[in-house]
Amino acid sequence: MSMAAPGISSGLAEIVGSANVIVDPAQLAAYRIGPCVPKAAVRPGTNREVAEIVRLSAAEKFALVPVGARTKLRLNVPPRRYDLALDMTRLDRIVAYDPDDLTLSVEPGIQLQKLADVLAKHGQFIPLAVPFLGNATVGGTIASGVDSPLRQFFGTARDYTLGMEFVTGDGQIVKSGGRVVKNVSGFDLHKLMIGSLGSLGVLTKINFRTFPAPRELRGFVAYFDSAQSAVEFRQNVAKSPLKPLALEMLSSRGAELLSSDRAEQIEPGQLRAYALASRRWAILVSYTGTEEVLKRYEHGLRQMAGTTDSVSLGKGAAAVALGRLREFIPIALESSPATVIVKASVFPARMGEILGEAESIAAESGARWAAIAHGVGAIYFALLPEARDEENGARAARAVANLRDACIRRGGNFSVAWCPAEWRGLFPKLQMGSTELQLMRKLKSVFDPSGVFASNPFAGDE
Amino acid sequence: MDSRLLHDLKKLLGAEGVLHRTEDLLLYEYDGSVEVARPDCVVFPRNTADVVEIVKLANRHRVPLVGRGAGTGLSGGALAREGGIITSFARMNRILEVDAENQRARVQPGVVNADLSLAVAHLGLHFAPDPSSQKACTIGGNVSENSGGPHTLAYGVTTNHVLALEAVLPGGEVVHLGSPVVDSPGYDLLGVFVGSEGTFGLATEITVRLTRLPEAVKTLLAIYDSIDDATETVAEITARGITPAACEMMDGWTIRAVEDYAHAGFPLDAAAILLIEVDGLSEVVEAEAEAVADVCKQHHARSVRVARDAAERDLLWKGRKNAFGAAGRISPSYYTQDGVIPRTKLPATLRRVGEIGRKYNLAIGNVFHAGDGNLHPIILFDERNQQQFQDAVRAADEIIECCIEFGGSITGEHGVGMEKDRLMPLLFSEADLDLMKRVRGVFNPDGLLNPGKILPNSKGCGEIYVRPQRPAAAPSA
């Protein structure tokens, strides 16, 4: 790129005013993605400004990345080029909220926590109990496709996102879906935006279905000697009439990680010493209901756990435990200079086998490790090497290759979600059929004909 | 139709796998809507390989291709609007695999919705989407239309229960979208495919999520002397944070039509009834049923009755699910709309529907998924009276315009098809529709698959669309 920063900034300043254009290198450092620092950052205040910036960027061939609170910029592959950060945090309004209809429309820059406070006043919530909750914006959460322990009961964002407005790569403001809970008008284009990392469009409005907030959160933790026996307990819960809000597995070393000082800084609160701090596998079941229902859960879970050690968590402890598990990714990222987090999606009944094998693979690699799994079959496995050097990189690469085999052999999906940028090339590509990949590339060129959006979810496959 | 193409199709599928005589094709010019369009032939593949060959033949001869399940659709999705080949999945109706441990099933598209639930009931599982036509409609059709049903209020619509698809694209490529495990890498192709009304590809294998049957179920019948009281009850239930498994409403006119036929025990003099179901743990069901009954009484329900047993519950549901069929018994034709509104706008919308009926002097019955604001006004008309037919279409359009005015949508679960494509510009801008068209082009570049559906061909909006001169007789959906 030969373009100088002043060239970028004057055009942008015309659109948003110079106060909303950042070119100071010290400030721009905060927008770094891996090795790339943008030449400018711009803070639009309306969807029209977003559209103008995208059009300008397309014309001037700036490579653009939309960002929110910048908590997940390390996710996936860094962009090849990155000229301009499109900082969406000024678009942070609640456009419409109809508590009686259980529907909500927000701009993407609003912080999840701030939104949660507004919804709580009406006894409602959105089940996005996602990592980085304290800072994350709604837009970044949706665009990154991170999941939540609450998916056990509520599903993922695709299950409760009703519609969206977004700006495509040619600067068009486009919408799909609507703001009613049931709607089959037109194609569900907004589903494509979830998890697309801002590679198809810039979200400018997101419509959600809201839910009555759980009133009395409780928890139940049971401890197991092996991943396999933990999964057997999970299977028994799945076969019972109980419908918990969350069912989370935690590896034997995970407890150590989640009760560390660092973990407490990230997600504060008194975690009762015995709640998660065990050297064995643990399952946390979170549930809610009336007094009678809570009793039924506690009794039912205790019965299913049998002679296994277990402990019931009251309101406060249940929330803290779930919060810590929710923040597994940020805690793991800060617990090693070279954290590698892989995601394995597997058949829930086979989680035990895979986690058992993963345990030995990790032990072989010599690195510290920890894992959590959402009971629906989404495993996050973190390798926590001592150093960010070549030797550790090579060991991590061997472990990841073996983990991938263990997962794929059993019909799962596998991806390296988080790793040091310079280690990316060491890890295997996504496994995806060529026709499917071709469809995705064609969609990318339909949404973003000139390639103005720099994020590329398939970078590993190109 | 080209005799060469017919010859090739027969060679591929056998003579019994191809219908082309006019008297055979007559059955396939209808679905559950008032639309009519006759295909040139109907073919019956036995497997994915057959479908691939059919697609290739259609391509070679540049003939449109339309997928079809049971033909119970309500927007003309499975009709050959521009002629061509209808691919019926009637012979691809096997349940390929039930994985109870992981609560999944892999099925062919022609499996009937209710048959899957029956087949897994002994495992304590079911397939949650339950369209009223579930005894006939197929899972392939459910995927195409992203079908709903009364219980989608709590359980979600089809897209929430489909994990993976094998599909044949109009170019003949076989693709696998989504995966039987949660979360697939890359863009959510599965999410955009489900509900694309057969315009993206032909699904040949479907992996669905199976849901555990609830421990306890209670079905309440609340009877009202005023429609407003009933609709206000619905708003209040939602506001109290109760999510019933289903919350259905029928107005007095519909009650009388249904009762005469189904003998479900609905009172003939009521202005409206609510059919509310709560399910889950027995403790939850007890408490919620009590709370619901309380809200009903506060809003002047004349009586609230709880079904005593499964037989009585089934009878109540039979009454509800056969409402359209009952309309067919008392009127030569009817036209059903599917608009959605925010739930709080129910009372105002129903008043408006009443006004529209009076304006055109048409009887309009109301039966709908009240809990999620999905209306199904049933407009009665006589197909022999062209004026009345045109009035029925105008009345339906006005109801849809009212839904949009209240912040709703033109269709909640029936699909756009060839019935509401002209209404799409009321909801979507030119840019929105253009992007949808280009996305369709990624899957279906030549437009050979299910042409003339969903996206309007002209840019005009709201002009009167001249329907076929002979509307369909009322089907028994």
Contact between chains at B416 and A343 (C-beta distance less than 8 A):
no
Contact between chains at B186 and A458 (C-beta distance less than 8 A):
yes
ipTM: 0.96
A296 plus A344 within the same structural domain: no
Q: Kindly state whether residue B53 falls inside one of the protein's structural domains.
A: yes
Give the pLDDT of residue A23.
96
Of B449, B443, B179, B109, nearest in space to A433 by CA: B179
- Judge contact between B328 and B476, C-beta under 8 A: yes
Amino acid, single-letter form, for residue A259: S
| Chain A residues close to B283, C-beta within 8 Å | 289-290, 292-293, 296
**Which among B176, B412, B434 has CB closest to A183?**
B412
CATH of the domain at B110: 3.30.465.10
Q: Kindly state whether residue A438 falls inside one of the protein's structural domains.
A: no
| Chain B residues close to A292, C-beta within 8 Å | 283, 287
- Judge contact between A341 and A333, C-beta under 8 A: yes
pLDDT tens digits, one per residue of B200-218: 999 999 999 999 999 999 9
CA separation for the pair B370, B347 (Å, rounded): 11
| Chain B residues close to A159, C-beta within 8 Å | 156, 160
A320 plus A343 within the same structural domain: no
**What is the mean predicted confidence (pLDDT) over A412-427?**
93
Does B241 contact chain A (CB < 8 Å)? yes
Give the pLDDT of residue A452.
97
Structure tokens, A132: 């980085």
A204 plus A285 within the same structural domain: no
Contacts by residues B285-293 (CB-CB < 8 Å, ≥ 24 positions apart):
B285/B214, B285/B215, B285/B216, B285/B217, B285/B218, B286/B216, B286/B218, B287/A290, B287/A292, B287/A293, B288/B218, B288/B242, B288/B244, B289/B218, B289/B220, B291/B240, B291/B242, B292/B220, B292/B237, B292/B242, B292/B244, B293/B220, B293/B222
pLDDT above 50 (res B262): yes
Q: Kindly state whether residue A383 falls inside one of the protein's structural domains.
A: yes
A392 plus A311 within the same structural domain: no
% pLDDT > 70, chain A: 96
Q: Kindly state whether residue A242 falls inside one of the protein's structural domains.
A: yes
B241 plus B311 within the same structural domain: yes
Give the pLDDT of residue A274.
56
**Which among B101, B184, B433 has CB closest to A413?**
B184
Q: Which residue has the higher pLDDT, B117 or A434?
A: B117
pLDDT tens digits, one per residue of B36-75: 999 999 999 999 999 999 999 999 999 999 999 999 999 9
Q: Which helix (H) or strand (E) holds B18?
A: strand B18-19
Does B355 contact chain A (CB < 8 Å)? no
Mean pLDDT, chain A, rounded, equals 93
Determine the distance in angstroms separating the CA of B378 from the nearest CA of chain A, rounded to an integer: 19
Give A342's strand partners: A381, A416
In terms of residue numbers, what domain contains B44?
Answer: 3-88
Query: What secondary structure does DSSP assign to B136-204, as a single string?
Result: T-BHHHHHHHT---TTHHHH--GGGGEEEEEEE-TTS-EEEEE-SSS--SSS-HHHHHTTSTTSS-EEE
Boundary (domain end) residue, out of B303, B325, B347: B325
pTM: 0.95
CA angle A46, A52, A54 (to 5 degrees): 105
| Chain A residues close to B196, C-beta within 8 Å | 187
A171 plus A280 within the same structural domain: no
Q: Kindly state whether residue A450 falls inside one of the protein's structural domains.
A: no
CATH of the domain at A387: 3.30.70.2740
pLDDT tens digits, one per residue of A373-385: 999 999 999 999 9
CATH of the domain at B34: 3.30.43.10
- Judge contact between A231 and A283, C-beta under 8 A: no
Q: What residue in B sits closest to A124 (Cα-Cα)?
A: B241
pLDDT tens digits, one per residue of B428-463: 999 999 999 999 999 999 999 999 999 998 544 434
Does B341 contact chain A (CB < 8 Å)? yes
Of B199, B196, B255, nearest in space to B223 by CA: B255
Boundary (domain end) residue, out of A188, A213, A238: A213
How many structural domains are present in chain A? 3
A122 plus A5 within the same structural domain: yes
How many structural domains are present in chain B? 4
Contact between chains at A347 and B102 (C-beta distance less than 8 A):
yes
For residue A23, CA distances in Å to A20, A51, A69, B171 come to: 10, 21, 18, 49
Q: Kindly state whether residue B403 falls inside one of the protein's structural domains.
A: yes
CA separation for the pair B367, B257 (Å, rounded): 11
Boundary (domain end) residue, out of A307, A329, A351: A329
Contact between chains at A195 and B407 (C-beta distance less than 8 A):
no
Does B410 contact chain A (CB < 8 Å)? yes
Give the pLDDT of residue A1.
40
The pLDDT-based confidence of A130 (bands split at 50, 70, 90) is: very high
B120 plus B191 within the same structural domain: yes
| Chain A residues close to B163, C-beta within 8 Å | none
CA separation for the pair B105, B107 (Å, rounded): 6
Contact between chains at B152 and A182 (C-beta distance less than 8 A):
yes
Does B177 contact chain A (CB < 8 Å)? yes
Residue B384: Cβ-neighbour burial (10 angstroms; 0-12, 13-18, 19+): exposed
Of A77, A141, A74, nearest in space to A108 by CA: A141
Q: What is the DSSP letter of B424?
A: H
The pLDDT-based confidence of B468 (bands split at 50, 70, 90) is: very low
Report phi then psi at B35, rounded to 5. Answer: -80, 155
Mean pLDDT, chain B, rounded, equals 92
Q: What is the DSSP letter of A30?
A: G
Q: Kindly state whether residue B73 falls inside one of the protein's structural domains.
A: yes
Sign of the alpha-carbon torsion through A436, A437, A438, A444: positive
Q: Which of residues 270-289 of B touch A (CB under 8 A)?
A: 280-281, 283-284, 287
Give B377's strand partners: B366
Q: What are the E-state strand segments in B372-447?
A: 377-381
Give the pLDDT of residue A42.
98
Boundary (domain end) residue, out of B88, B107, B137: B88
B54 plus B110 within the same structural domain: no
Contact between chains at A446 and B441 (C-beta distance less than 8 A):
yes
B225 plus B205 within the same structural domain: no
B99 plus B208 within the same structural domain: yes
Give the pLDDT of residue B473.
42
Q: What residue in A sits closest to B440 (Cα-Cα)?
A: A187
pLDDT above 90 (res A256): no
Give B223's strand partners: B273, B303
Contact between chains at A436 and B177 (C-beta distance less than 8 A):
yes
% pLDDT > 90, chain B: 84
Give the pLDDT of residue A5.
56
Q: What residue in A sits closest to B284 (Cα-Cα)?
A: A293
Q: Kindly state whether residue A323 falls inside one of the protein's structural domains.
A: yes
Residue with tokens 């959906």: B477
**What is the mean predicted confidence (pLDDT) over B162-170?**
98
B101 plus B51 within the same structural domain: no
**What is the mean predicted confidence (pLDDT) over B84-102?**
98
pLDDT tens digits, one per residue of B285-309: 999 999 999 999 999 999 999 999 9
Contact between chains at A182 and B441 (C-beta distance less than 8 A):
no
Contacts of B136 (CB under 8 A, 6+ apart): B70, B72, B112
CATH of the domain at B430: 3.30.70.2740
The pLDDT-based confidence of A275 (bands split at 50, 70, 90) is: low
A143 plus A265 within the same structural domain: no
A229 plus A318 within the same structural domain: yes
| Chain A residues close to B413, C-beta within 8 Å | 182, 184
> What are the helix (H) ranges across A67-176?
112-120, 138-144, 151-154, 157-160
| Chain B residues close to A238, C-beta within 8 Å | 103, 212
B99 plus B203 within the same structural domain: yes
The pLDDT-based confidence of A405 (bands split at 50, 70, 90) is: very high
Q: What residue in A sits closest to B416 (Cα-Cα)?
A: A185
Give the pLDDT of residue A264.
87
Give the pLDDT of residue A462.
47
A203 plus A92 within the same structural domain: yes
Q: What residue in B sits closest to A100 (Cα-Cα)?
A: B239
B223 plus B298 within the same structural domain: yes
Q: What residue in B sits closest to A300 (Cα-Cα)?
A: B281
Residue with tokens 């894992």: A371
Contacts of B437 (CB under 8 A, 6+ apart): B455
Boundary (domain end) residue, out of B56, B88, B120: B88
**What is the mean predicted confidence (pLDDT) over A304-309?**
92
**Which among B101, B148, B177 has CB closest to A235?**
B101
A14 plus A114 within the same structural domain: yes
Contact between chains at B435 and A168 (C-beta distance less than 8 A):
yes
B100 plus B180 within the same structural domain: yes
The pLDDT-based confidence of B260 (bands split at 50, 70, 90) is: confident
Q: What residue in B sits closest to A166 (Cα-Cα)?
A: B432
Give the pLDDT of residue B471.
44
Does B369 contact chain A (CB < 8 Å)? yes
**Which among B156, B187, B287 has CB closest to A159?**
B156
CATH of the domain at A287: 3.30.70.3450
**Which among A185, A296, A447 has CB closest to B411?**
A185
B99 plus B207 within the same structural domain: yes
A66 plus A135 within the same structural domain: yes
Exposure string for A242-265, b = 16+ CB within 10 A, e = fewer: bbbbbbbbbbbbbbbbbbeeebbe
Q: Which residue has the higher pLDDT, A155 or A315?
A: A155
% pLDDT > 90, chain A: 83
In terms of residue numbers, what domain contains A300?
Answer: 218-329
B205 plus B100 within the same structural domain: yes
> Pairing relation of β-strands A310-313 and A218-224?
antiparallel
Determine the distance in angstroms separating the CA of B194 from the nearest CA of chain A, rounded to an integer: 8
Angle between helices A227-239 and A351-365 (to 10 degrees): 160
Boundary (domain end) residue, out of A290, A313, A329: A329
| Chain A residues close to B146, C-beta within 8 Å | 184, 188
Q: Which residue has the higher pLDDT, B322 or A331?
A: A331
A347 plus A386 within the same structural domain: yes
Q: Kindly state whether residue A14 falls inside one of the protein's structural domains.
A: yes
pLDDT above 90 (res A6): no
pLDDT tens digits, one per residue of A190-213: 999 999 999 999 999 999 999 999
CATH of the domain at B243: 3.30.70.2190
Q: Kindly state whether residue B455 falls inside one of the protein's structural domains.
A: no
